[in-house]
A and B are shown apart, each in its own frame.
Chain A
Amino acid sequence: MKNKFLKVMSLMMSMCILVSVSAGCSGQKAQKQEQTKESQNAKKAEPVKFSILLKAGPEFTPDNNAWVKEINEKANADITWTAVPIANIWEKRNVIMASNDYPEVIIMNTTSKGVTDNLYDSMVKNKIVLPVDDYIKNAPNIMKYTHKSAWEAVKNADGKIYMVPRCTIVREDFMAIRKDWREKLNLSVPKTTDDWSSFFKAIATKDPDGNGKADTYGVSDTNELMSSSSTVINMEYFARAWNADRNWYDNGKGEVEYGVFAKDGRFKYALDFYKKLISEKSLDQDIMTNKGIASVNEKFSRGVTSAHRIFAGQLDSQVIAIKPIQPSVQVELVDFPTAPESKNYAKEKLVFTNAGLYNAWALTNKAKGKEQSIINVFDWMLGDEGWSVLSNGVEGVHYKKDGDKIIRLEPEYTSFTKWIGNLQQFRRPNDESLWLKKQVPEMYQYQKEWLDKSVKYVTDNYVQKGLMGISSDKETNFYKKDTFTKKFVEVTAKIIYGELPLTAWDDYLKEVYSSGWDEVTKEYNDYYKAHK
């Protein structure tokens, strides 16, 4: 009996102990959960601290900057902006990387096609930059406002993505001409290459500016001619008539060829066109002294030339530039011309290589542990609230609201808007307000129409798949050779000025292909077949 009693007591005590231990543990768990939630809340409340290295103009100072404070407050961040001079951003960034004193977020060099950063490969190899694939999945705004082509372009050979693209508008640039001169000379809008040569000849000979001097030309270009790295090459606009510009073309048989270096020598048609312009004195006679696109743009702004290839969003600022000199200025945009020989290339199609990239942002290994928080800040920047701050600034400081209307508190292109261009880390690339500034209100509708047309041109006329993301070392090496850097300009210039016959282009083409372009073409074709 006594033993039974003891056994029961022991059992009951064991049960009690067991119950109390379970209760204690769950209580601790609950306490821990509550503590975790609290610490999480505390962590959520704590702003993410990181530094960004980016380029900015001299008007930007991060200290006591209302815009910087607004971003930090609204994005729950504590960002240190290391703004580097625009002119030498890459040298500066490279020495900072070499010093091991680099920030959490760095700017990466790209062209519109892909990554061209000279440190990229070593940064990936040495794990200096972190993959962001897992974090961008949770960034809906970044995914929404980044071109698919841009993601393809920045994807590394290992299949991972090591940077977040900064996108720009993907569009085609058409030729702007002086509408007032055209109407004064009673000419119609040029459509064919013959129309263009007649138009330019009239500009050169009939004194459209009425100053009594024969000082106007049809069009100009830089002394680099078609070898220029600029995206705006006036001569290239005309070469499109024969699919002989600096684009890749699908020949209709599933193969691609580079227009200007096409083996059939079609660029000779373009050279012949330029020769005609030279002989009629309607191409700028000082073309070989024009250093840089700025000098060509200036000639259009000064009313020396009648045509210049331009982005639709910049039409109004061109008018403003010309108006003080020639108050009657009007400009209009013109679609690409055709030529009698264009039908020979009707089956060919342009192949898309423009990823719409304009630099990208990489997270360095110093951002380890806060990758998602940083990406969240970037995602906020592309959200409605963040985009408003990035585009318009701070309400009451940079703008005020009148209902839904935004009224800037300073003229366009002064202080804030001057530096914001580079500092906008991310963009909604097809946001109209980014490109159309309404400086000349009566031009807005026209510009909008052509902006939409320039974007639609790409989707309608380019094969979208096939060459996106291609990065060719062979091509990069070719562009460094004298065959391209010196001889391309030399042969082109000598042909159009009559020192060499047109057939000299065929000899040059042989040299181009023997200097490595054959391999480049093969590489492009292999990539195209694999990715079509």
Chain B
Amino acid sequence: MIKMSRSEKAFDIVNYIILTILGIVTLYPLLNVLAISLSTYTAYVESPLMVFPTKIDFEAYIRILSNPLILSSYNNTIFVTVVGTVVNVIMTVLTAYPLAKAKVRGVRVFMFFIMFTMLFNGGLIPTFLVVKNLHLVNTLWALILPTAISTYNFVIVLNFFESIPDSLEESAKIDGAGHLRILFSIIVPLSTPVLATIALFYGVGNWNRFFDAVIYINDRSKWTLSLLLREIITENSDVLNALDPMNAVTVYPKTVQSATIVVTILPIICAYPFLQKYFIKGIMAGAVKG
């Protein structure tokens, strides 16, 4: 066993202290939001910085969950997240592989057009017209297909594919494997960490999709969760801003806001532990070149 010197021990202790403080600073807002969401308004007023609720009250959750659109919006959001993420990952992989490995002609041209979209886009109206002409307006596919590939995630996957040794590919070719066989039998299994990472990025993005839902969805039955929750908060804020003095509703926005945050992030927090190890591997994936 290696004996640590005093300075090394001191360094470790300082590290632990700093990381503990960082951990508390990171965790505290989440606990505070959870506590406020489970409290009465009176309890919040008496102790706005609470970590634990003094008396559990579900009024804020009842207010949100009793909305007639909550079930449909959850279903829609789950559909967009699951299906959307699968589409996103497949499209990203199928785009990155030929540009990384298949040595196609015109790679630089393709890369230019793809990277161009990181800096410029068509704008709201032209994009809407494209989606409309594809008959996707007022369908959940309008939230999935137009944003099927994120250039940022594409670059992550592209870099990872480029880091995979060519020798693996060549030996597979010698054995008679074609491009698709190589992709799905060799490249994809080796890329699990980075694919899990981008799946998480895409998943969170799809779960939080709000503005696209505002623009493309007309039927309330197809609203996503983030849109519904935003509307619940805005409806109350409209009153408080005295924009319209008519609906002087008795609202407790802080508890409702906090419950809204919890309802939105809870599924992501539940899914994250299962993807955490891949996430960490994925982050490191491009850092060390073999």
Q: Is A302 an interface residue (CB 8 A)?
A: yes
Chain B window 121-148, contacts with chain A (Cβ cutoff 8 Å), 1 for yes, 0 for no: 0001100110010000100000000000
Given contacts A58-B235, A91-B215, whether A325 and B42 have CB atoms under 8 Å apart is: yes
The CA of A434 and the CA of B245, in the complex, are separated in Å by 10
Query: Which residues on A sit within 8 Å (CB–CB) of B128?
Result: 95, 98-99
Query: Which residues on A sit within 8 Å (CB–CB) of B238?
Result: 86
Give chain B nearest CB distance to A128 CB in angstroms.
15
The CA of A421 and the CA of B235, in the complex, are separated in Å by 10
The CA of A303 and the CA of B42, in the complex, are separated in Å by 11
The CA of A292 and the CA of B254, in the complex, are separated in Å by 13
Q: Is B95 an interface residue (CB 8 A)?
A: no
Given contacts A317-B250, A435-B246, whether A91 and B124 have CB atoms under 8 Å apart is: yes
Q: Is B159 an interface residue (CB 8 A)?
A: no
Most buried by B among A60, A95, A99, A293: A95
Q: Is B12 an interface residue (CB 8 A)?
A: no
Query: Which residues on A sit within 8 Å (CB–CB) of B220?
Result: 58, 60-61, 83
Chain B window 237-258, contacts with chain A (Cβ cutoff 8 Å), 1 for yes, 0 for no: 1101111111111101110000
Q: Is A232 an interface residue (CB 8 A)?
A: yes
Chain A window 218-235, contacts with chain B (Cβ cutoff 8 Å), 1 for yes, 0 for no: 000000000000111000
Q: Is A187 an interface residue (CB 8 A)?
A: no
The CA of A475 and the CA of B241, in the complex, are separated in Å by 23
Q: Is A11 an interface residue (CB 8 A)?
A: no
Give chain B nearest CB distance to A105 CB in angstroms.
16
Query: Which residues on B sit within 8 Å (CB–CB) of A95?
Result: 124-125, 128, 215
The CA of A168 and the CA of B243, in the complex, are separated in Å by 11
B231 near A418 (CB under 8 angstroms)?
no
Nearest CB to that of B230 among chain A residues? A87
Nearest CB to that of A415 among chain B residues? B68
Given contacts A59-B68, A92-B214, whether A437 and B234 have CB atoms under 8 Å apart is: no
B211 near A413 (CB under 8 angstroms)?
no
Q: Is B41 an interface residue (CB 8 A)?
A: yes
Query: Which residues on B sit within 8 Å (CB–CB) of A437?
Result: 248
Given contacts A87-B231, A92-B214, A298-B254, whether A98 and B242 have CB atoms under 8 Å apart is: no
Nearest CB to that of B41 among chain A residues? A324
B231 near A302 (CB under 8 angstroms)?
no
Selected contact of B235 from candidates A57, A302, A311, A417, CB within 8 Å: A57
Q: Is B117 an interface residue (CB 8 A)?
A: no
B237 near A294 (CB under 8 angstroms)?
yes
Selected contact of B250 from candidates A311, A358, A413, CB within 8 Å: A413
B247 near A303 (CB under 8 angstroms)?
no
A317 near B228 (CB under 8 angstroms)?
no
Q: Is A169 an interface residue (CB 8 A)?
A: yes
Query: Which residues on A sit within 8 Å (CB–CB) of B69?
Result: 58, 61
Q: Is A342 an interface residue (CB 8 A)?
A: no
The CA of A232 and the CA of B237, in the complex, are separated in Å by 14
B215 near A302 (CB under 8 angstroms)?
no
Query: Which residues on B sit within 8 Å (CB–CB) of A99?
Result: 128-129, 132, 137
Nearest CB to that of B240 among chain A residues? A294
Chain B window 58-69, contacts with chain A (Cβ cutoff 8 Å), 1 for yes, 0 for no: 000000000111
Q: Is B268 an interface residue (CB 8 A)?
A: no
Query: Which residues on A sit within 8 Å (CB–CB) of B215?
Result: 88, 91-92, 95
Q: Which of B202-223 contact A (CB under 8 A)?
A: 211, 214-215, 218, 220-221, 223
Q: Is B45 an interface residue (CB 8 A)?
A: yes
Q: Is B90 an interface residue (CB 8 A)?
A: no
Q: Is B227 an interface residue (CB 8 A)?
A: yes
Selected contact of B249 from candidates A294, A310, A317, A358, CB within 8 Å: A317
Query: Which residues on A sit within 8 Å (CB–CB) of B214?
Result: 85, 87-88, 91-92
CB pairs A–B below 8 angstroms (28 shown): A85-B214, A85-B230, A85-B234, A86-B231, A87-B231, A88-B211, A88-B215, A91-B214, A91-B215, A94-B125, A95-B215, A168-B245, A173-B242, A230-B241, A232-B242, A293-B242, A294-B241, A294-B253, A313-B246, A314-B245, A321-B250, A321-B252, A325-B42, A358-B244, A418-B249, A421-B244, A421-B247, A434-B246
- By a beta-carbon cutoff of 8 Å, the part of chain B in contact with chain A is 40-42, 45, 67-69, 124-125, 128-129, 132, 137, 211, 214-215, 218, 220-221, 223, 227-228, 230-232, 234-235, 237-238, 240-250, 252-254
